[in-house]
A and B are shown apart, each in its own frame.
Chain A
Amino acid sequence: MAAPELDSDVLIVGSGASGAAAAWSLSRRGLRVTCLEQGRWVEPSDYAHSRPDYELARQTSFAKDPNVRGWAEDYPINNSGTPIYPLMVNAVGGSTVHWSGHFPRMRPSDFRVRTLDGVADDWPFTYWDLEPYYDLNDSMVGVSGLAGDPGNPPRSPRQTPPLAFDAGCEAYLRGLEKLGWHWWPCDNALISEPFGENRSPCNCCGPCDIGCPIGAMSSAHVTYWPKALSQGVQLITHARVEQITVDRAGRATGALYYDDQGVRRSQTAGVVVMAANGVGTPRLLLNSTSARFPNGLANDSGIVGAYLMFHPVAFVSGVFEEVVNGQRGPIGGLMNCQEFYETDLARGFVRGFELQLSRSVGPLSVANGGILGHPVPWGSEHHEALRSRYAHTMTTSVMLEDLPEPENRVTLDPGLTDAHGIPAPRVEYRVGENTQRMLEFSIARARELFEAAGAVEILVDPLVQESGWHLMGTCRMGDDPERSVINGWGQAHECPNLFVIDGSTFTTSAAVNPTSTIQAVALRCADWLGKNYRAVAA
Chain B
Amino acid sequence: MTAHILTPEELALLTLVQDELVPAYGDLPGAGTLGGALTVDAYLAERPWLRRPVLTALRAVEAAAGETPFAELDSGGRVGILRRVEGEDPEAFTELVKQTYNAYYTRPDVQASLGIDGPPQPLGFELPAFDESRLARVQAMGKLWRDA
Contact = CB atoms under 8 A, between A and B. Distances in A.
B60 to A, nearest CB: 15
A54 B144 contact: no
A80 interface: no
A364 B138 contact: no
A161 B146 contact: no
A53 B142 CA distance: 47
A203 B79 CA distance: 43
A425 interface: no
Interface residues of B, number: 52
Contact of A166 (B97, B100, B128, B139): B128
Among the interface residues B25, B82, B138, which one has the most CB atoms of the partner chain A within 10 A? B138
Interface stretch (A143-151, A246-254, A478-486): A143-151
A383 B106 contact: no
A325 B126 CA distance: 12
Contacts of A184: 135, 138
B106 A53 contact: yes
A205 B121 contact: yes
A466 interface: no
A116 B145 CA distance: 13
B1 interface: no
Given A204-B126, A205-B125, A390-B114, A126 B148 contact: yes
Contacts of B126: 204
Given A49-B121, A52-B111, A148-B139, A379 B20 contact: yes
B102 to A, nearest CB: 6
B122 interface: yes
A50 B122 contact: yes
Given A177-B137, A342-B146, A367 B128 contact: no
A368 interface: yes
A213 B120 CA distance: 11
Interface in A50-71: 50-56, 59-60
Contact of B119 (A50, A162, A180, A368): A50
Contacts of B8: none
Among the interface residues B23, B100, B148, which one has the most CB atoms of the partner chain A within 10 A? Answer: B148
Interface string B111-148: 10011101111111111111110110111011111111
A151 B146 CA distance: 9
A203 B125 contact: yes
A112 B147 CA distance: 10
Contacts of B107: 52
A294 interface: no
B52 interface: no
Interface in A34-54: 47, 49-54
B128 A182 contact: no
B148 A108 contact: yes
Give the dominant DSSP class at B's interface: loop
Contacts of A161: 129-130
Interface string A202-223: 1111110000011000000000
Contact of B130 (A127, A164, A342): A164
Nearest to B148: A112
A183 B132 CA distance: 12
A440 B148 CA distance: 28
A11 B113 CA distance: 54
Nearest to A338: B144
Given A109-B148, A165-B128, A182-B141, A214 B121 contact: yes
B45 interface: no
Contact of A52 (B108, B128, B147): B108
Contacts of B123: 203, 205
B124 A203 contact: yes
Interface string B7-49: 0000000000000111101000000000000000000000100
Contacts of B137: 177, 180
B52 to A, nearest CB: 16
A379 B102 CA distance: 16
A341 B143 CA distance: 13
Contact of A163 (B104, B130, B139): B130
Interface centre among B106, B119, B137, B143 (most CB of A within 10 A): B119
Contacts of A387: 114
22 contacts: A49-B119, A55-B106, A116-B146, A150-B143, A152-B145, A162-B130, A163-B130, A203-B124, A206-B120, A213-B121, A328-B127, A329-B127, A341-B145, A362-B116, A363-B114, A363-B116, A364-B102, A375-B98, A378-B97, A379-B79, A380-B23, A382-B23
3 A-B pairs with least C-beta separation: A203-B124, A164-B127, A205-B120
Given A55-B106, A108-B146, A213-B121, 18 more contacts: A49-B120, A50-B121, A52-B118, A56-B106, A107-B146, A108-B148, A111-B148, A116-B148, A148-B135, A150-B141, A150-B142, A204-B126, A205-B121, A367-B101, A375-B97, A378-B100, A379-B79, A383-B23
